[in-house]
């Protein structure tokens, strides 16, 4: 980021190292950057190394300039993304009681919202056909519009590694912790299902070993029980449910059990 005179990096050393360790060395020239102004984001789209079809970009590092946070998201094999006013063929400009899918109780939509925003840009993704790639049909895909990609249900993956566990007034990075349960705080439609994993490491250089999945049904499950011991604790939540939801927080039933 620059103001015309000085330059300031917005990528932390960890994310910068992650990007350069994972970008494919043979196809790095396919990397590109796109702005997603609706969500205050910059996407760095790149071909990931070590995958079966690394020719096109299949991953994106996402910087939110409002919150100054970084995340990542997977992409279908993508040659380019651009922004603009997008109206798909046959798309209704206004959702009504007659045109909205589902029922009043089950729909994830807001009545009266506009599916087509005449003054708000969307991202349109170009997924080329390639006999050597995962797709044999060229597609134009609208981003952040529906719950599926090319007709396939889109999954959600949330993960936090090496949680800073506080023992007293200080973060305790050396003691062994024991996790016996997890509670999720979710806003969304009752019946949404999630898989919860609890991970452990004895050293930050070790890979995370996850226990699970432990099933969570929103509106029914009050707690999932587990038995995980490690020096560094991680949590992962995945879902392929076809409803809108948001995770507002979680609690771990955790004890510090010793040094070794």
Cα–Cα distances (Å) from 160 to 70, 71, 197, 208, 242, in that order, read: 13, 11, 11, 11, 23
Task: Report d(CA 79, CA 30) in Å as an integer.
Answer: 7
Q: Are 75 and 59 in contact (CB under 8 A)?
A: yes
> Can you give the pLDDT at residue 147?
63
Give the pLDDT confidence score for residue 119 in this predicted structure.
58
Q: What is the pLDDT of residue 131?
A: 46
What pTM was estimated for this model as a whole? 0.63
Provide CATH code, domain 157-258: 2.60.120
Q: Which residues of the chain have pLDDT under 70?
A: 1-3, 7-8, 12, 52-54, 87-119, 130-136, 145-154, 167-170, 260
CA distances 32 to 28, 56, 57, 62, 156, Å, are 9, 11, 8, 12, 24
Residue pLDDT, tens place only, 125-145: 888 876 444 556 777 887 776
pLDDT for residue 3: 64
Domain boundaries, the chain: 13-86+121-152, 157-258
Query: What was the pLDDT predicted at 92?
Result: 54
Cα 184 from Cα 45, distance rounded (Å): 31
pLDDT reported for residue 25? 87
Q: Where are the beta strands (DSSP E) in the chain?
A: 32-36, 41-46, 57-64, 69-78, 80-84, 122-127, 139-142, 148-149, 152-153, 156-160, 166-167, 170-171, 176-188, 193-201, 209-217, 224-230, 232-239, 245-258
What's the pLDDT at 109? Answer: 57
Could you read off the pLDDT of 210-257 as tens digits, one per residue? Answer: 999 999 999 999 999 999 999 999 999 998 777 778 889 999 999 988
């Amino acid at each position: 980021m620059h103001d015309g005179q000085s330059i300031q990096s917005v990528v932390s050393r960890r994310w910068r190292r992650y990007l350069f360790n994972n970008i494919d060395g043979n196809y790095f020239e396919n990397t590109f950057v796109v702005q997603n102004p609706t969500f205050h984001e910059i996407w760095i789209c790149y071909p990931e190394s070590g995958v079966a079809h690394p020719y096109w970009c299949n991953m994106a590092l996402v910087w939110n300039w409002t919150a100054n946070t970084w995340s990542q998201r997977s992409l279908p094999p993508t040659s380019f993304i651009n922004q603009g006013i997008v109206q798909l063929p046959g798309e209704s400009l206004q959702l009504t009681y007659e045109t909205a899918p589902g029922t009043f109780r089950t729909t994830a939509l807001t009545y009266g919202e506009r599916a087509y925003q005449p003054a708000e840009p969307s991202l349109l993704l170009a997924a080329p056909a390639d006999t050597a790639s995962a797709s044999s049909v060229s597609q134009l895909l609208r981003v952040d519009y529906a719950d599926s990609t090319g007709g396939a249900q889109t999954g959600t993956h949330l993960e936090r590694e090496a949680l800073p566990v506080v023992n007293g007034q200080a973060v305790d990075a050396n003691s062994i912790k024991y996790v016996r349960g997890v509670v999720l705080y979710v806003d969304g439609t009752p019946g949404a299902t999630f898989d919860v994993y609890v991970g452990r490491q004895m050293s930050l250089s070790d890979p995370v070993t996850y226990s699970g999945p432990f099933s969570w049904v929103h509106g029914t499950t009050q707690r999932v029980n587990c038995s995980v011991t490690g020096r560094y604790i991680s949590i992962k939540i995945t879902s392929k449910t076809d409803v809108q939801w948001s995770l507002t927080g979680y609690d771990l039933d955790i004890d510090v059990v010793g040094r070794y």
